[in-house]
Amino acid sequence: MIQLTHEPIDTEELLGKVRSDQAGAVVLFLGTTREWTGQRQTATLDYECYAEMAQRKLEQLRDQACRRWTLTACAIVHRLGRVDLGESSVAIAVSSPHRREAFDAGQWLIDNLKTDVPIWKRETWTDGTSQWVHPQELS
């Protein structure tokens, strides 16, 4: 399951897509909007993308992860539009027979998603200013 959505991410649905009797491990990563980035107080994040390109790149990352590790399933959902404080902007769920592979694959997926997928983030601060942020500038 690869999905771009303007709706809140349903983590139970996502976990249901990767659960399996063949998996001994299920790892869920959620990227959420934090209130503070350095000394700046965040009000909201906004995400935009070129959907066809982003979808294709997410599918490629999923396929690479499935070739690199022994995964039972892998699902990625990225939110678009406005994401308020505490809400999830990205969710990655990975299942595998063993936990090490699930953890390694999940970390690799989020690291590569942030640098390789054409999804752009604008951070708006409580002082009313905003800035488009390159994925490698903030973590």
Query: For the whole model, what pTM was predicted?
Result: 0.93
Query: Cα dihedral sign for 64, 69, 102, 34?
Result: negative
pLDDT band for position 133 (cuts 50, 70, 90) = confident
Six-digit token string for 65: 């992860």
Residue 57, helix vs strand vs coil: helix
Position with higher pLDDT, 133 vs 121: 121
What local confidence, expressed as pLDDT, does residue 123 receive?
Answer: 95
Q: What residues form DSSP beta bridges with 81?
A: 47
What local confidence, expressed as pLDDT, does residue 136 receive?
Answer: 56
Which 8-state DSSP code applies to residue 8? P
Cα–Cα separations (whole angstroms), residue 38 to 8, 31, 97, 138 = 26, 17, 39, 9
CB 9 within 8 A of CB 80: no
What local confidence, expressed as pLDDT, does residue 137 receive?
Answer: 52
Query: pLDDT, tens digit, for every residue of 67-88?
Result: 999 999 999 999 999 999 999 9
Mean pLDDT, residues 109-115: 96
Share above pLDDT 70 across residues of the chain, in percent, rounded to a whole number: 96
Does 102 have pLDDT greater than 60?
A: yes
Does 103 have pLDDT greater than 70?
A: yes
Amino acid at 9: I
Query: pLDDT, tens digit, for every residue of 3-42?
Result: 999 999 999 999 999 999 999 999 999 999 999 988 999 9
Cα–Cα separations (whole angstroms), residue 4 to 46, 51, 94, 103 = 14, 8, 17, 23
pLDDT band for position 138 (cuts 50, 70, 90) = very low
Q: Among 3.30.465.10, 3.90.1170.40, 3.40.980.10, 1.20.120.420, name the CATH number for the domain at 2-133.
A: 3.90.1170.40
Q: Kindly give the interhelix angle for 99-116 and 51-68, rounded to the nearest 10 degrees.
A: 150
